[in-house]
Structure 1
Amino acid sequence: MVKIYHNPRCRKSREGLALVEASGKPFDVVLYLDNPITKTELKDLLKMLGISPIQLVRKQEAIWKSDFKGKELSDEAIIDALLKYPKLIERPIVTFKNKAVIGRPPETISGLLD
């Protein structure tokens, strides 16, 4: 089953959801700002994405700039920041068959679902 980590206020996330819907595959929507993900789930997503925690951070968010930018942070510290401030997580993230992509650009989602 397809899973999309979605923020309805984000245009790119809405575009990603439209692509998932258009695929015709069954899917679940995770509204991660309303229902925070666990540390284990986030680590699993990072493994599926094949990226380091810093690569999942939205570095233009105000909270990142004010509290974290320019600091030497371990991967665990970045993961903790993402869990405390889920708005920092890049979106949307789509998983399918133990693989994942960040839907930026949204077309990456189509490649995953094909």
Structure 2
Amino acid sequence: MKATIYHNPKCGTSRKTLAILQESGADVTVIEYLKTPPTRDELKRLYERAGLNPAEGLRKKETLASDLDLLSGRISESALLDAMAENPILIERPLVETDKGVRLCRPQDRVREIL
């Protein structure tokens, strides 16, 4: 099975998710999304496949989210996607995609749903 993880190596949950993927025997592609961010369209596709809206994929703990007034609920999904594509630190992690779907793996065991 092939899997792609949008990964931040500084994040414990992301590292644990990657370990689960590796232990499962999956052929894992690791994308360090802070270095190689997904495009706006790719984010939209991932969230749609995961059954999430962009607000659910926003890293709300990031100071930049409040600095950009992204938490008020007054911003469109399109504007959220633009902000996340421009500032990948705003993307909640880790996102994992396999043939079985996409999951935002918080907690990390959610990855098992798509293995």
Shorter-chain TM-score tier: over 0.9
Percent identity, aligned pairs only?
Answer: 35
Partners of 2:103 and 2:114 within 8 A in 1: yes
Partners of 2:40 and 2:84 within 8 A in 1: no
Partners of 1:48 and 1:98 within 8 A in 2: no
How far does residue 71 in structure 1 lie from its aligned partner after superposition?
5.5
Which residue of the partner structure matches residue 55 of structure 1? 56
The count of corresponding residues between Structure 1 and Structure 2 is 113
How far does residue 67 in structure 1 lie from its aligned partner after superposition?
1.6
Deviates more, 1:70-79 or 1:14-23: 70-79
TM score, norm. by length of structure 2: 0.93
Which residue of the partner structure matches residue 14 of structure 1? 15
Unpaired segments ≥5 residues, structure 2: none
How far does residue 4 in structure 1 lie from its aligned partner after superposition?
0.5
Note the 1:39-78 alignment, pairs <5 A: 39-68=40-69, 69-70=71-72, 72-78=74-80
Which residue of the partner structure matches residue 87 of structure 2? 85
Q: Please give the alpha-carbon distance, in whole angstroms, between the structure 2 residues aligned to 1:71 and 1:49.
A: 21
Partners of 1:2 and 1:28 within 8 A in 2: yes
Which residue of the partner structure matches residue 33 of structure 2? 32
Partners of 2:100 and 2:114 within 8 A in 1: no
TM score, norm. by length of structure 1: 0.93
* 1:109 aligns to 2:108 (yes or no): no
Q: Give RMSD over aligned pairs.
A: 1.1
Unpaired segments ≥5 residues, structure 1: none
Partners of 1:57 and 1:90 within 8 A in 2: yes
Q: Deviations over 1:66-94 (max 9, x none)?
A: 22232610110000011111111111011
Q: Please give the alpha-carbon distance, in whole angstroms, between the structure 1 residues aligned to 2:25 and 2:16.
A: 15
